[in-house]
Copies of this chain bind each other. A is one copy, B any other.
Amino acid sequence: MDAATRPSPEIVFDTFFAYQRTAALKSAVDLEIFTAIDEGTDRVQDIARRSGGSERGTRILCDYLTIIGLLSKAGDRYALTPESSMFLSKKSPAYIGTVGDFLVSPAIMRHFDDLTSTVRRGTTAPEGNIVAGQEQEHWVTFARAMTPMMMPAALSIADALDIGAAGRVKILDIAAGHGLFGTVLAQRNPQAEVVAVDWPGVLTVATENAAKMGVADRVRTVSGDAFSVEYGRDFDIVLLTNFLHHFDQATCVRLLEKVGRALKPGGRAVILEFVPNEDRVSPPMAAAFSLTMLAETPGGDAYTLAQLKKMIAAAGFSGEVTAHSLPTPETIVIATK
């Protein structure tokens, strides 16, 4: 094999060193490097002064961010890429830097400290289950951290439901978190009433967001566990956003049965999920999400559309099931009772 065709070990090293990418992005967000550059502070000594970093540390971090595609560099000046400009500068309305507060918090990352044992067991460590109890502070962090991420999906759900033309509707938002999915529907339809279910600590975030968005009078909260709390009846719409992936298929079917009982005839369950193709290795982000669920939950997964349809049918939904792709890596699946 000659040098030109001999494989390079670079992908092996790049993968072993990948954890440094995570750390570098987290630090850059903490130090507001992207915001500094967006403000025109584009040379090492000035960025260092603005961010409170040393010149040596700032120079090496900015070069590294350039190498991994989050900055560009010309001479001694750095510039944002289209992605870092839109998503990582605090000057951007689409800023999502806060997602790191949840995604790379020590409470979440520790699930990958011993992935080998997790693969052997086939499930998270007993003490590691992120969905085990309502006292877990990280769901409050999640609700606060992920809010900015969710708006494109929330608007897409409103469109898919044609909510503005739906008239008087009762909406149940299960594991509401930040509450954004319900509150956006309430904003788009002044006759919509929302019941948001979640653990008490998390609901304070949902309540804050409903107030900010001017729909607090039409958002009621029910605190408790989604599997045991009483939902009420005769809902037109039930939102199940980013929830099913935490559970195994039998548990999902049980929950969907409960959702079915809460819906009016002809009512719709709206599922937002990472939905990989049937090959389970594409598209990359949706498919890769399975590993997160392996590490962090007892039996969760990123389910394919065929799997979701099977669970929906098993739960007794007999109407149409439609899938709607999004500008984000998730998919909306709407099941009619």
**B-binding residues in A (CB < 8 A):** 3, 6-27, 30-31, 52-61, 63-64, 66-70, 73, 81-88, 96, 99-100, 103-104, 109, 112-113, 115-116, 118-123, 149, 279-282, 284-285, 287-288, 290-295, 299, 301, 327-329
Complex CA–CA separation, A287 to B329 (angstroms): 31
Q: Which residue of B lies closest to A66 (CB)?
A: B281
14 A–B contacts from the bound complex (CB under 8 Å): A9-B87, A9-B149, A11-B83, A16-B26, A17-B103, A19-B19, A20-B292, A24-B291, A26-B116, A27-B115, A56-B294, A57-B118, A57-B121, A73-B279
In angstroms, how far is the closest chain B Cβ from the Cβ of A280?
Answer: 5
Is the CB–CB distance between B116 and A7 below 8 Å? Answer: no
Q: Assuming A57-B121, A63-B281, A119-B58, is B288 touching A104 (CB within 8 A)?
A: no
Partner of A329, one of B10, B96, B291: B10
Complex CA–CA separation, A54 to B123 (angstroms): 9
In angstroms, how far is the closest chain B Cβ from the Cβ of A225?
Answer: 25
Complex CA–CA separation, A118 to B15 (angstroms): 23
Partner of A115, one of B24, B68, B122: B24
Question: What chain B residues lie within 8 Å of A58 (beta carbons)?
Answer: 119
Is the CB–CB distance between B54 and A121 below 8 Å? Answer: yes
Question: What chain B residues lie within 8 Å of A56 (beta carbons)?
Answer: 122-123, 294, 299
Question: What chain B residues lie within 8 Å of A85 (beta carbons)?
Answer: 7
Is the CB–CB distance between B19 and A22 below 8 Å? Answer: yes
Complex CA–CA separation, A313 to B186 (angstroms): 72
Q: Apart from A9-B328, A63-B280, list 17 A-B contacts with CB within 8 A.
A: A3-B327, A8-B83, A9-B149, A11-B69, A16-B22, A16-B103, A20-B288, A24-B291, A27-B119, A53-B122, A54-B119, A56-B299, A63-B287, A66-B281, A67-B282, A67-B288, A68-B288
Question: What chain B residues lie within 8 Å of A292 (beta carbons)?
Answer: 17, 20
Question: What chain B residues lie within 8 Å of A327 (beta carbons)?
Answer: 3, 6
Q: Assuming A64-B290, A288-B67, is B15 touching A25 (CB within 8 A)?
A: yes
Q: Which residue of B lies closest to A82 (CB)?
A: B7
